[in-house]
Structures are given as C-alpha cells and as structure tokens.
Chain A
C-alpha cells in the first residue's frame, strides 16, 4: 500500500514535470507550468518521506531545512545579472548530490554490486564529480574570482585525454571487480580533477556552451542515480535535464558556427587565435554624445543590440529608460538578441525583462536581421563578436561563418564600449572602423543615462 502510494506520487511528479516544461513553450503559460512542476516535486518528496527504509528523520529534516533556507536566500537575493554564476553553482550542487549518493550506495553495496548497478554507479560518480568541480570553476570564472581567459599549457589536450582514458580504464576495471575500494575513490578523485581541467582552457565568450554542457552532465548524473536506485522519476527528470542541456549546447554551438570539439578543446580566445584576426586599417571614429542624442531623437527606427557589457555595467534599466523616451517621441524601438550574447543561453532576455522591457520587443537573430537596412540607428551596447562583420565577410577569420546581427547594414551604428580594447575573444572588430560607425566610450550605464537627458532636450 505504502509502496504504491510512493510510486504513484513519483508517477504524478513525472507527468507534472513534463507538463511544466511544456508550459515553457510560451511566456504566458510558463508560470502555470512551473507551479505544476513545483506541486509534483512536493508530492514526490512527501511520498519519499513514507519510505520504509527510513528509520530516522533528524538528518533529513535538518538537511531540508538548511537547503531550503540557502535556496530561498539565493532565490530571492541573487541579482539577474548574476544569473550565470548562480546557475553554475546549482549545477555543482546537483552534481555533487548525485556523486555523494553514488558513493553512499557503493559503500552500502560494499563489493557485491552486480555489473549493471556498478556501471550505472560508475557513471553517476564520474559525471557527478567532474561536473561538480567543472561547474565550480565556471562559477569562479563568471564571478571574476579567476581570470576569464583560457588557461592553456603545452600538451594540454593530450594530458586531458590521457587522464580521461585512465579514469575510464579504472571504471571498466571496477565494473568487473567492484570490490576494489581504493580504485573506486581514485576514479572519483580523477574525475574531480578532470572537471577542472575540462573548464580551464575555455574562455568567457564560450561560457554559454559550457553552461549548457554542464547542465547536461548534471542531469545525466541524476539519471544515472535513477538507474542505481531503480527509481523511474529520477531517470525521467534527469534525462529531461540532460537533454535540455544537450539541446541548448548544440544550439549555442550552431549560433557560433563551431563544433563542440572546437569549443571544448580549441582554447578559443587565447593569444594564439587572436593573431589570426584581420589587421585593420584606418581609425575608429569617436562621436559626441549630443550628436548621437540628436540622431536618436529624430530617427524612425532604433535597434538596441545588447551584449555581456550590458550585464557588467548593470545598464538594463538605463536602456529601457532611453527606449521609453524615444518611444514617447514616436520612434520605433526594437531589441536584437543574439543567441550567445551574454554568458548563458537567454541571458540578455532575462536582463531586459527585469527592466520591464516587454518580450514582444525582443527579436531573435533571424527576425531582426532583415530589419537592419531600414534601421536608422543601431545601438550596440557592450557586444562585440556577435556584431563582427568579419564572421560574414572574411573566410580566414576564426569566427568565420558565425551568424551575426548585421548592424553594419543599418544607416548608422553607435557602439557603446568601455574602452578601445578588444572583446573577450581577442579579435579585432572591423565594424568599429566602418564609416557608418561611431564610438561612444565610457561606462554603458552612465552613457545611456546621459543620452536619456540629452534626448529629452533635443
């Protein structure tokens, strides 16, 4: 009876999770979908508490209490600009939980685990461990605690592959001889190290792919836990998470026209790749704030193109204020969002939504590109590679073939930039040297706020 109740609560949770994710196909249905998923989760937890193996609730309640407090604090206070870091941290938590349960199950089975369980357990612990450290390093990079540039050394890829081969070798040995405890912990330890090594050579600009990939690994670690515990809802939820991350990482790679291998092992944005960019002739044209304000005020259509610089400058509210002032003057305002703008998939959309920009004004790459020729002013805010015309025009460029927002086709381009330096990928951007382009240096938030005032007086 009890078992039936538990299993039914898991079945209900599985269905509600799927309905919840289905709701995410539209912003209008998303909230309701999430409430369904939350209800499903609650049912599954209540069901689990009735499990016959549970003899003491002290640690469970203590753990749930601490986790809920930390979760609530994170949920309510993490600013939207820090969403990539928060997500990286939660990948680490999820993966670490899976790894720990795996280790506990291994200790419980102590040597007489059958081949199938041991295989699943090995996957769980390996994926869980490498995702934990990989995500923590990604977190540190995003938080700025560690330099965002790729860390490379000679023979890095060979060394990493060797380490992975050894880890997998031990894993295979363990499937046949599950009793060897020292080897089991060696495998886990090597996987922890491998996670760090995997993320080390990856630059900030490639973070959207890495985030998605770590998301995928964390999900698959949960799914493997489901295999170990013969728990269907774990398999379903873990697989959904795993595939969601996988699909996102493919979409992100496609948005950069790069292969997964290139992202993971190419150390993109290191000194070596930067040299391959085209040498630019001419100079960048710096423009005055007043001129830009006049241009904007008398434009018919203005398109804002945000990048990671928008997030670092916390300028999302300032953009929205400028858009408000312009719209009041009858200017049509749109936003062009590149899939890999920012540090995680959808990063820019969330930031702009936070600043009350209606989602109907946010346009995807394919939708906005045909509109640039009729755009009077394109305002690039802290974006670089996603508007680099070299990707389209120069087959020798390291980012050749990457779909870009074609702002250079608009009548006038204004680039808001902190300084004259290159972007995260280290590539020269010919857009900045084009005659249609004017550069406006300074903190994006400050510049935008001053533009608002200038437009009001125009």
Chain B
C-alpha cells in the first residue's frame, strides 16, 4: 500500500467513525438489538474481500480459506438482514388486537 493510499484510507476511516458516532447515537435503546444485528449484517460486507480471495485461484490454501470466509460472511449477511427485518416487523405503535373503545 502506498503512503498516498494509506492517507486516503485514513480519511475514509476517520470520517466514517465520525459519521457513525453521529448516526448511531441517535438510535433509541428500543432498537439497540436490531442495531446490533443490522451493523453485523452490514459489516458482512467483508464478503466482497472473501469472494475475491475464493475466486482468484491463487493457490489451493487461499481458495479454501476464501471459501470458508465466503460461507461465514454470507451467513452473516443473509442471517443478519433476515433477522433484523423480522425484529423490526414486530415493533408496532399500537397492538393489532387492541379492541378498546
């Protein structure tokens, strides 16, 4: 990695950290569990690195490592998003079976 690339990567890191702080401190405690599973699914983006490792055919070891990484990361992506959706669907303002009045 060149020094230039490092600096630009550090910029991205610093700005993402700042942005992350601002965005995430607005998430109410009510949604902290969905937040955790959502960020987990999102960081499953490491899948893109695993995909290249698994498919570049460099050597057998790398391919196997990449393959296992693809399995792990895609489990997180799919499982994380499905479960977050499932949780968020449960949060309702008023109960559906409320028969008051």
Contact = CB atoms under 8 A, between A and B. Distances in A.
Interface of A: 10, 13, 17-18, 20-22, 24-28, 30-31, 34, 37-38, 41, 44-45, 47-49, 51, 53-57, 59-60, 62-64, 66-68, 70-72, 74-76, 78, 80, 83, 86-87, 90-91, 93-94, 96-98, 100-101, 103-105, 107-108, 114, 116-117, 120, 211-212, 215, 218-219, 222-223, 225-227, 229-245, 247-248, 251, 324, 327-328, 337, 339, 344-347, 349-350, 353-354, 356-360, 362, 364
A51 B57 CA distance: 13
28 contacts: A20-B42, A22-B23, A22-B26, A27-B91, A30-B88, A37-B41, A38-B81, A41-B81, A53-B55, A53-B56, A56-B57, A63-B71, A66-B71, A67-B76, A71-B80, A74-B83, A97-B44, A103-B65, A116-B1, A218-B40, A223-B13, A234-B45, A237-B42, A248-B36, A337-B29, A354-B90, A358-B98, A364-B29
Contact of A350 (B51, B74, B82, B87): B87
A237 B71 contact: no
Contacts of A22: 23, 26
Interface in B63-101: 63, 65-98, 100
B72 A97 contact: yes
Contacts of A114: 1
A455 B21 CA distance: 47
B23 A350 contact: no
Contact of B34 (A30, A56, A105, A234): A30
Interface of B: 1, 3, 5-6, 9, 12-13, 16-17, 19-21, 23-59, 61-63, 65-98, 100
Sorted nearest first, the 5 A-B pairs with minimum C-beta distance are: A75-B82, A67-B74, A71-B78, A63-B70, A346-B32
B43 A230 contact: no
Contacts of B56: 53-55
Given A235-B12, A236-B12, A76 B82 contact: yes
A241 B39 contact: yes
A103 B34 CA distance: 31
A235 B66 contact: no
A240 B41 CA distance: 11
A353 B89 CA distance: 9
Given A100-B69, A240-B43, 20 more contacts: A21-B38, A22-B23, A22-B26, A30-B34, A41-B81, A54-B52, A63-B68, A67-B74, A71-B79, A71-B80, A97-B73, A100-B50, A219-B39, A227-B6, A251-B29, A327-B100, A344-B33, A353-B92, A359-B30, A359-B91
Contact of A45 (B28, B38, B48, B75): B48
A212 to B, nearest CB: 7
Nearest to A21: B23
A20 B38 contact: yes
Contact of B90 (A55, A70, A103, A353): A353
Contacts of B17: 239, 242-243
